[in-house]
Structure 1
Amino acid sequence: MKTLFAHRGMSSLAPENTLAAFSLCRQLGIQWIECDVDILADGTVVVSHDDTLDRCTDQSGNLAELTKADLNDIDAGSWFHDDFIGEPIPTFEQLITLVNQHELNINVEIKSCSAGWAMTDKLIANVITALAQLDTGRGLIVSSFNHLALAEFKCRRPQTSVACLFEAASLGDDWESVMQACGADYIHPEDQHLTQAMVARFKSAGYKINVYTVNDLARANQLFNWGVDGVFTDIAHRFPSKYKLRGK
């Protein structure tokens, strides 16, 4: 089964990493979602790609300086479309509730916390606490570009499948050593400069491959024909029905 991951939810139809974007997935036949998690000053885990508010809300500032109470005053939807005025930044616990209700599977990307290792350590711990609320039977992958954080997560929650994220520029000859150090089951390489020979090397080493971020149907088809297992995309709704859940 070739897997589509709705990158930050249905992020071309609703503001990224919001409950609105994730809520669209099930009705559009998308089984897997991808989200990013970071941490506030009080330890609250939130769903956000950036560590600042500037790009995707009506405010400016750093997540590391906020508390859960501050989320009530932040609009994460009005920048995208009037239909989403007042859409909040969700907490990770709120997203897990939605995932359980909609029977989705989830790829959780742990961000490289800019507030330092102490906060990264707390992020890992609080993500693990929240994941205890995820229904059994829900698919789960935890990924990160921060391979030290990913290895630490895997040590603390060994039952969870983890994936090493690599930018094209950082995918060096030591990639397999990094994968082994993290106990990774998946490699998540950047689409740019990815070749059929590279895919073959990953597969021959026994790893599953999910590629980010693929917004071209022909390129996705090519990657799947090379043996890639999944792609992250902002346009999951535009993919043909063979990639989607039947009857949804």
Structure 2
Amino acid sequence: MPFGALDLLAPDLPRLIAHRGLSATAPENTLAAVRAAHAAGISWVELDVQLLGDGTPVIWHDRDVKRCSNGRGRLAEMTVAEARRLDAGGWFAPGYAGEGMAGLEEMLALLVEREMGVNLELKVNRGHDPERLAEAAVPAVMAALPPHRCLLSSFDARALARCRALAGPERLALGALFKRLPGDWAAQARAVKAWSVHADWRRLDEARARAVKAAGHALVCYTANDPSAFAPRWAWGVDAVISDDPRVFDGVDGSR
């Protein structure tokens, strides 16, 4: 995939990426979900990283653990010992009971073992420090994965700026995440030397999509699960789609 005019090492981003692992068939953001993606022949996953109260980076989306575990409480108030006691799989299906919350280190080890790539979103929930999160995530990712197999993204401009400062201009691809692209999306992307721009596929219009491509960025859409509804957007220049189940896109209108 071309990376335009940006002076970065381009990731080998595939057309289809599994959202929080293969979250259609396994509990999201777990080691099991990444193993399921690999077993399904999916080479890249999208995952969320944030910090526990003791500074440990973990793979988790929500501000608290209520939705995706058998526990209660906010991540910002938890220690790693407390987080390890949670069952992060039984809520999804009985066969996943006992699946634990994954730490960033063990998740990276699995990605290395399976030779997979990752779009790692720095998830800055309310009350969390974006710079501290970047400082925990960037060195670990850069030490574990080659540049062509990693992409760090965030909605938070401060997190992205700290990532860029830590990584330098040529070592790590960053993605600027938006829901609907704002009027100043290009300035925000330039400020952090973003390789890619990410948008909610339902809120993306053709003019903005083509503008992203004209500016030299890769264009990533999330989270699409209806290949027929999404199909026209391939012609707008979309490079990759994040989906709960990328298999539904196989062979459908530009997905391959």
TM-score in terms of structure 1 length: 0.91
Instruction: Give the equivalent residue in structure 1 for 2:223.
Output: 213
Judge conservation of contact 1:103–1:138 (CA < 8 Å) in 2: no
1:187 & 1:138 partners in 2: Cα distance?
17
1:137 & 1:149 partners in 2: Cα distance?
19
* Cα drift, residue 10 of structure 1: 0.3
Report the 3-state secondary structure (helix = DSSP H, G, I; strand = E; otherwise coil) of the residue aligned with 1:192: helix
Instruction: Give the equivalent residue in structure 1 for 2:4.
Output: none
Q: Give the residue type in structure 2 aligned to 1:34.
A: E
Q: Give the residue type in structure 2 aligned to 1:73.
A: R
RMSD across aligned C-alpha pairs, in angstroms?
1.7
Residue identity over aligned pairs, in percent, reads: 34
- Out of 106, 116, 119, the residue aligned to residue 104 of structure 1 is 116
* Cα drift, residue 94 of structure 1: 0.7
Write the mapping of 1:27-176 to structure 2, written as runs, cut at 5 A.
27-117=39-129, 120-136=130-146, 139-158=149-168, 159-168=171-180, 171-176=181-186
Write the mapping of 1:15-34 to structure 2, written as runs, cut at 5 A.
15-34=27-46
Report the 3-state secondary structure (helix = DSSP H, G, I; strand = E; otherwise coil) of the residue aligned with 2:118: strand
Instruction: Give the equivalent residue in structure 1 for 2:23.
Output: 11
* Cα drift, residue 189 of structure 1: 0.8
Distance 1:112 1:141, change over 3 A: same
Write the mapping of 1:158-237 to structure 2, written as runs, cut at 5 A.
158=168, 159-168=171-180, 171-237=181-247
Report the 3-state secondary structure (helix = DSSP H, G, I; strand = E; otherwise coil) of the residue aligned with 2:198: strand
Judge conservation of contact 1:76–1:89 (CA < 8 Å) in 2: yes
Judge conservation of contact 2:179–2:203 (CA < 8 Å) in 1: no
1:228 & 1:207 partners in 2: Cα distance?
10
Q: Give the residue type in structure 2 aligned to 1:226.
A: W
Report the 3-state secondary structure (helix = DSSP H, G, I; strand = E; otherwise coil) of the residue aligned with 1:209: strand
5+ residue gaps, structure 2, are 2-13
Q: Give the residue type in structure 1 aligned to 2:26.
A: A
Judge conservation of contact 2:49–2:61 (CA < 8 Å) in 1: yes
* Cα drift, residue 138 of structure 1: 5.1
Alignment deviations for residues 6-46 of structure 1 (CA, whole Å, 9 cap, x no partner)? 00000010000000001111221111100000001111100
Judge conservation of contact 2:147–2:173 (CA < 8 Å) in 1: no
* Cα drift, residue 223 of structure 1: 1.8
2:148 & 2:194 partners in 1: Cα distance?
19
Number of equivalenced pairs: 240
5+ residue gaps, structure 1, are none
Which stretch shifts more, 130-139 or 107-116?
130-139
Which stretch shifts more, 70-79 or 219-228?
219-228
Instruction: List 4+ stretches of structure 1 deviating above 4 A.
Output: 241-244
TM-score in terms of structure 2 length: 0.89
